[in-house]
Structure 1
Amino acid sequence: MAKVQPKVALGDGFLQAFASIPRKKQKAVMNFVSKFRADPRASGINYEVIRNARDPNFRSVRIDKDYRGIVLSPEQGNVYILLWVDKHDDAYTWAVRHRCQIHPKTGSLQLFEVEHELESVEEDAQSPVVGANTLQDQPEKVDAPVNSAPLFDLEDDVLLSIGVPQERLALVHSLTSELELERVERRLPIEAFEALYLLAAGTPLDEIIQEYSVSKSKKPVDTEDFERALENPATQRRFHVPEDEQELGRMLNAPLERWRVFLHPSQRQLVERDWNGPVRVLGGAGTGKTVVAMHRARWLVSQPDWPKDARLLFTTFTSNLALDIADNLRKICTPEQAQRIEVVNLDAWVSQFVKRNGYQSTIIYPGGRDRHYSNCWNKAMALVPGELDYPDSFYKEEWQRVILSQQVRSRREYFNASRIGRGVALNRRQRADIWPVFEEMREQLVRGGFVTVEDAMHHALDLMQSGGDKRSYRAVVVDEGQDFTAESLKLLRALVPENKNDMFIVGDAHQRIYQRKTSFSQCGINIMGRGRKLKINYRTTELIRRYATALLEDVEIDDLDGGIDSTNDYRSLVLGQEPIVQNFSDIDSEGEWLVQQIEQLKDDDVSLSEICLVARTNRLCEDYAQILQNHGVPTHTLSRQKSDDRSQEGVRLATMHRIKGLEFRCVMMVGINKGVVPLSVAINSSQDVVEQRLTDVNERALFHVAATRAVRYLYISSHGTPSKYLKHDF
């Protein structure tokens, strides 16, 4: 009879504890885990009973003379779970304070603290053998103020269905406020706390039940079947069975990067399933959209029916985001999987594609990025009719919003072009008068051998639609979908044949900082019935989320497909502390205060590489870097050409655009002054009230993006007259 291979899982708590161990000790732990995974029943592994442990399945294992591991080793089955690792006494104390069990209703494996009854035996918990275990399970409760209404008026069956353990029912019934709920977080399994928190925040009960009542089987849950419990989606957000030694190594080499392995059930439902067409995933900052997109790409190329020579295109809007994504994909993919995924920002892809197909023109970009573009434009503007009193900005906007986006190449086409959304109305005569400006611009581009990126994109689309280039992708995954133009989305639709699992697009219009809104359906991307939304912010605290979102509350934000998106169903699960907002008379005083805060953060064990100063412009980044350096604080300015190496010492500096897609334990938004945020040059670049309003929304979104990069601490400082964005009542 064939020998049954044991199943060994690691808990996220084990990885967190492992990360806290001194590096010189981590090697011993890694060696042990590797041997343990190979054979948890090997004779050299000595299991010791922890008699005072609240969980009878807990055992300790010896790592070395100083360290012990805590293992869940059920009497039945062939499953072993590494739960914790620590110094000898601390490991036993942890074991006495925790329980890991299968919930009888949801079927998920739950880990939670039971410390509150154990203070009287804390000293005994230092030893694995302490005599008879006299502790009994007692229902817990929080003393509530007299006449206080309960926070949850729910029957026990309802509470059990969303993951509340039987022994925690009295505790939940005794709660009278969200603050009390937060105080008992550690005494509840993570999914139960999350469901209760969202319920208290106003999420309808039927949505909570649909999301957290995860047991789909009609059969009773077997509370001793740990192997089946490990297959439960709710379990997999905290426990993972490594596929092989290589994945185990990746987990232990980056133990704090939980996103690599652990997904929320709502995220896993998006990743690990077949879709009958394009999928759109919305989600506020910190909800894990990019993580979901990366895991989706990995899952697709790892499926048995994925041809070895087929490729997946993973694209985003900017080059630095593409670099960050490529770096992170290498962390979760095998070399074979990574070879099947091409990561590139779309402009770079278009450039490579048209050149490969014999395109001789050089792609140039507006906005001061290319002097050739400016030279062509200046010559075209010489033909502006003197009798028309339109500002220069009007012609730039007309060129970008109408001529290029609709590929207008003749006066007749311009007469028929749509100008919906333009703030200045034009009759047929006025269009005829200004057409020579755009005609000359096109002529100048041709003479110089140049082409705009919009024209190059249309050329690429023509090639695809005419069959001039073979479609080479089996699927497309798109990050930051809100920043793509209609032309971009049409091109992406043409890149992959319409089929199941063809397109997967994540985005959030609250973070749109580059373009106008675009409807997927109008670009040929049909997401009917396949629109989803992530609602839990895992990055920032709730008070930071509220602050960052407040600036957009009065702005109507689209859902990328013609509808309206809301932030009312978007929550963080940790309250945290209020953002700190300060104003100073001058930049030197502001700089001194920043240095003081950085020193305080260092005292709180926040490393310099976990702190990022964010300014609106590159010039301001340089100014603040010099101030910090003058005070002896090392700095490191983030590059647009490569991803951030956190092993490099120094406070990070980045523009609001560069920090997009990143996160830091502490974010310091600096120089948030009048004229800087919003940037007066951007706001005043147009006299069209419609354009000014759109630019203001983009500037607000940029502020929102920068603030939501903060995990725990958010500081916002200004000098002189502060930005009007800081005058809102948050």
Structure 2
Amino acid sequence: MSEMRPTVAISTDFLQAYATIPKAQQKKVMNFVTKFRNDPFSSGINYERINDARDANFRSVRIDQDYRGIVLSPEKGDVYVLLWVDKHDDAYAWARRHTCGVHPETGSLQLFEADSEVLTPERAPAVEVAQPPLFSLRERELLRIGVPHDRLARVKEVKTEEELERLETLLPKEAFEALYLIAAGSDPQEIIQEYAAKAEAVDTEDFATALTREQSQRSFHVVENDQELEAMLVAPLEKWRVFLHPSQRRLVHWRVNGPIRVLGGAGTGKTVVAMHRARWLVRHALSAPDRKVLFTTFTANLATDIAENLRKICSLEELERIEVVHIDAWVSRFLKRQNYPHQIVYDGNPQYEACWRAALDARPADPPLPESFYREEWDRVILPQRVTDRAQYFRAKRVGRGVPLTRAQRAALWSVFEELRIQLHQRGLKCSEDATQDAADLLASGKAYLPYDAVVVDEAQDMGPQVMRLIRLLVPPGANDIFIVGDGHQRIYRRRYTLRACGIEVRGRSRKLKINYRTTEETRRFAVAVLEGEPIDDLDGGEDSTSDYRSLVHGVPPTVRGFAGQEEELDWLAEQVRGLQQEGAELKDICVVARTNALVESYERGLRTRGSGCIRLSRKLADNRAQEGVRLATMHRIKGLEFRHVMLAAVNEGVIPLRQAIESSEDPTERRAGELTERALFHVAVTRAMSRVFISYFGQGSAFLVGPRSRSLS
């Protein structure tokens, strides 16, 4: 046995294969892999050459009488990589189709199919009009993004995206991904700059060094200890815990002097990056042992889910130095410690509503404006700009408000807002926005001590300007101080701001994630179509686009079905659940989603009476994946989660978009903003699905289905 401990790695493909085999065999594989990691030279491990394998470095190892593992075991160096596991014949067939080697230009370890027959270029019939090649890249540029030498000719002859997609398994992941983004319209030089690996003096037989390179680490991981290995095998599909895309890894490790903003569409791994960033900050960027990272988001359920997932990647010591809390809870706790004399109230609170009723009694007859106008003016103008007297209201900006006001009209309206503030003061109340501003004032005064060196903000698009100004004050400006992730396409609460106006400068420190790893491309297209033509901001005054946002996974389009009544719809939903079970799906991988709590309750009752076990997701508790049963959730609750199969029920006219959310205002500008929020909510719900999306309605279907429906019915 060598004095140096050998390098033992595991591939994402191995975990994917492991996840699909029966649980009885999984236990045997787990025992084998543990023994293999501790001593790949063990006498109980028999390496067998695969005579007709494409790759001479492939070996077969025996798991039991029926199952075999495929291992990369190069002649040079003590390197062993678990690549695949399957039944005997299937494992050997896999080995015959694949090859694994070090790219001579990038130095990354690459695993892909090596079927020479498919590599033969397809010749178009002579009658077809000749098409130019899809790519105008030089061979040197293709090599820099990881295209293997023997694939160059085929790639250069590709003429359509469909041809490129047929090459997917025949190309390394990084090469196909870069080419796919270029084909979708991304700037070729930007993609080359982003994907070109920097490696010098590459030794194509040095597999150990190849495993340390960034591009390799998206697909291969060197296992350091048995605890880490066990965690990987217990949840093999949670690859986000270990494997990061190079663009994600660079963001996690990015050392900068100031705040970072990360944009990205649904499924691009923003929250994953944020969680790994929090752990990295604890390990590398805190100034003293008693300093912490604050990880905050907008809602309680998202904070709960994030805290649960951080436990999967952090040690107990690291967890103690990451405080996870949603922002309203943080403000409340902080002010309570400062002996804040007011009770904080939120929309819907009975005392808050009583204040509003008293204030609205003071509204003038002229101008004749509905009650909704005052609520909207309060939320969009008074609170964000912290208007406390009539003179300030005269100067306040009303950008985005649909009803113009003269100075005299503002003077008349102010009596309502003045009375509201008086009513709140007399009851000892503060609305959450004002309380957040008060917390910011305390921090700005320098009278409060905070233990944080860094703040990580998830779902930043849902924060308001008061919150973002507070976040700027939570840590002193400096290196690695604030890390912000968000996506305007997923804004499901109507709060807008620009980071710059809140004192957070991100120029030169902004990046965008472009690859959706969760949903299929068909689902992505369906979800994006719901927001097509709508202007979406980038959180800092610019516009964001989905033109450079793609999924590399293909599947079936979302299924859309309409029914005469809800009972028929429930029969169909129960039938789909049974069908997915017959295909091997577990109930916990299915989530039925509806717009309101009342609808969720009705579908829970209906599915239970039809024999489906159900678990309704709580706002305050993380989903316990050990419990079996179809999950049920509102569209708001499912945000931040993912399921293999998502069923959106009651996508009816008047429900999606929710009539109350649109028609509560008489201001056309507010109505348009309300509809955009509803579109974003629907977009979020659709993009929670990893594999299949089922959309159903009874009676009249939602107008949101008109655009995508013709492409999606099955």
- Which TM-score band applies after superposition, normalised by the shorter structure? over 0.9
Checking the alignment, whether the CA contact within 8 Å between 1:668 and 1:715 is kept in structure 2 is yes
Task: Specify the alignment match of 1:68 in structure 2.
Answer: 68
Query: What is the alpha-carbon distance in structure 2 between the residues aligned to residue 399 and residue 143 of structure 1?
Result: 64
Q: CA deviation at 1:65?
A: 4.4
Does 2:619 correspond to 1:636?
A: no
Query: Which one of 182, 186, 210 corresponds to residue 169 of structure 2?
Result: 186
Q: CA deviation at 1:253?
A: 1.6
SS of residue paired to 2:312: helix
Q: CA deviation at 1:163?
A: 1.4
Question: What is the TM-score of this pair, normalised by structure 2?
Answer: 0.94
Deviations 1:613-637 (A, max 9, x none): 2211111111222222222222222
Does 2:518 correspond to 1:539?
A: yes
Task: Specify the alignment match of 2:232 in structure 1.
Answer: 251
Structure 1 segment 275-354 matched on structure 2, within 5 A:
275-303=256-284, 307-354=288-335
Task: Specify the alignment match of 2:39 in structure 1.
Answer: 39
SS of residue paired to 1:54: coil
Query: What is the alpha-carbon distance in structure 1 between the residues aligned to residue 32 and residue 590 of structure 2?
Result: 34
Q: Classify 1:151/1:409 alpha carbon distance in 2 versus 1 (closer, same or farther; 3 Å).
A: closer
Q: CA deviation at 1:420?
A: 2.5
Does 2:373 correspond to 1:390?
A: no
SS of residue paired to 1:344: strand
Q: CA deviation at 1:489?
A: 0.5
Deviations 1:524-579 (A, max 9, x none): 10101011101111111112111111122211111111111111111111232222
Query: Which one of 122, 126, 133 corresponds to residue 143 of structure 1?
Result: 122
Does 2:589 correspond to 1:582?
A: no
Checking the alignment, whether the CA contact within 8 Å between 2:521 and 2:551 is kept in structure 1 is yes
Deviations 1:284-306 (A, max 9, x none): 11111111111111111122765
Structure 1 segment 142-291 matched on structure 2, within 5 A:
142-147=121-126, 149=131, 150-214=133-197, 216-217=198-199, 219-291=200-272
Query: What is the alpha-carbon distance in structure 2 between the residues aligned to residue 32 and residue 728 of structure 1?
Result: 52
Query: What is the alpha-carbon distance in structure 2 between the residues aligned to residue 174 and residue 421 of structure 1?
Result: 51
Query: What is the alpha-carbon distance in structure 2 between the residues aligned to residue 690 and residue 163 of structure 1?
Result: 49
Checking the alignment, whether the CA contact within 8 Å between 2:519 and 2:690 is kept in structure 1 is yes
AA of the residue aligned to 2:449: K
Q: CA deviation at 1:356?
A: 0.8
Query: What is the alpha-carbon distance in structure 1 between the residues aligned to residue 47 and residue 35 of structure 2?
Result: 14
Does 2:346 correspond to 1:365?
A: yes
Query: What is the alpha-carbon distance in structure 1 between the residues aligned to residue 508 and residue 285 of structure 2?
Result: 26
| Higher deviation after alignment, 261-270 or 422-431 | 422-431
Task: Specify the alignment match of 2:580 in structure 1.
Answer: 601
Checking the alignment, whether the CA contact within 8 Å between 2:267 and 2:518 is kept in structure 1 is yes
Task: Specify the alignment match of 2:388 in structure 1.
Answer: 409
Query: What is the alpha-carbon distance in structure 1 between the residues aligned to residue 326 and residue 231 of structure 2?
Result: 26
Q: CA deviation at 1:252?
A: 1.7
Checking the alignment, whether the CA contact within 8 Å between 1:319 and 1:344 is kept in structure 2 is yes
Query: What is the alpha-carbon distance in structure 1 between the residues aligned to residue 527 and residue 73 of structure 2?
Result: 45
Query: What is the alpha-carbon distance in structure 2 between the residues aligned to residue 209 and residue 387 of structure 1?
Result: 62
Checking the alignment, whether the CA contact within 8 Å between 1:472 and 1:495 is kept in structure 2 is no
Does 2:86 correspond to 1:86?
A: yes
Query: Which one of 670, 682, 685 corresponds to residue 706 of structure 1?
Result: 685
Count residues in correspondence. 704
SS of residue paired to 1:354: helix
Query: What is the alpha-carbon distance in structure 2 between the residues aligned to residue 664 and residue 557 of structure 1?
Result: 26
Checking the alignment, whether the CA contact within 8 Å between 1:514 and 1:698 is kept in structure 2 is yes
Query: What is the alpha-carbon distance in structure 1 between the residues aligned to residue 335 and residue 259 of structure 2?
Result: 26
Query: What is the alpha-carbon distance in structure 2 between the residues aligned to residue 305 and residue 634 of structure 1?
Result: 46
Does 2:425 correspond to 1:446?
A: yes
| Higher deviation after alignment, 97-106 or 604-613 | 604-613
Task: Specify the alignment match of 2:550 in structure 1.
Answer: 571
| Higher deviation after alignment, 63-72 or 289-298 | 63-72
SS of residue paired to 1:681: helix
Structure 1 segment 324-723 matched on structure 2, within 5 A:
324-366=305-347, 368=348, 370-723=349-702
Task: Specify the alignment match of 2:112 in structure 1.
Answer: 112
SS of residue paired to 2:645: strand
Q: CA deviation at 1:158?
A: 3.2
AA of the residue aligned to 1:548: A
Query: What is the alpha-carbon distance in structure 2 between the residues aligned to residue 93 and residue 420 of structure 1?
Result: 64
Query: What is the alpha-carbon distance in structure 2 between the residues aligned to residue 162 and residue 407 of structure 1?
Result: 51
Q: Classify 1:581/1:28 alpha carbon distance in 2 versus 1 (closer, same or farther; 3 Å).
A: closer
Checking the alignment, whether the CA contact within 8 Å between 1:300 and 1:306 is kept in structure 2 is no
AA of the residue aligned to 2:175: A
Query: What is the alpha-carbon distance in structure 1 between the residues aligned to residue 249 and residue 81 of structure 2?
Result: 21
| Higher deviation after alignment, 666-675 or 160-169 | 160-169
Q: CA deviation at 1:115?
A: 4.9
Q: Classify 1:443/1:246 alpha carbon distance in 2 versus 1 (closer, same or farther; 3 Å).
A: same
Query: What is the alpha-carbon distance in structure 2 between the residues aligned to residue 416 and residue 211 of structure 1?
Result: 46
AA of the residue aligned to 1:75: E
Query: What is the alpha-carbon distance in structure 1 between the residues aligned to residue 260 and residue 271 of structure 2?
Result: 14
Checking the alignment, whether the CA contact within 8 Å between 1:484 and 1:515 is kept in structure 2 is no
- State the identity as a percent: 58
AA of the residue aligned to 1:60: S
Query: What is the alpha-carbon distance in structure 1 between the residues aligned to residue 606 and residue 5 of structure 2?
Result: 60
| Higher deviation after alignment, 189-198 or 36-45 | 36-45
* Backbone CA RMSD of aligned residues: 2.0
Q: Classify 1:468/1:520 alpha carbon distance in 2 versus 1 (closer, same or farther; 3 Å).
A: same
| Higher deviation after alignment, 29-38 or 558-567 | 29-38
Q: CA deviation at 1:36?
A: 2.5
Q: Classify 1:42/1:602 alpha carbon distance in 2 versus 1 (closer, same or farther; 3 Å).
A: closer
The runs of 5 or more residues in structure 1 that have no matched partner are 118-138
AA of the residue aligned to 2:269: G
Q: CA deviation at 1:677?
A: 1.3
| Higher deviation after alignment, 526-535 or 12-21 | 12-21
The runs of 5 or more residues in structure 2 that have no matched partner are none
Query: What is the alpha-carbon distance in structure 2 between the residues aligned to residue 247 and residue 170 of structure 1?
Result: 42
Checking the alignment, whether the CA contact within 8 Å between 1:144 and 1:175 is kept in structure 2 is no
Task: Specify the alignment match of 1:126 in structure 2.
Answer: none
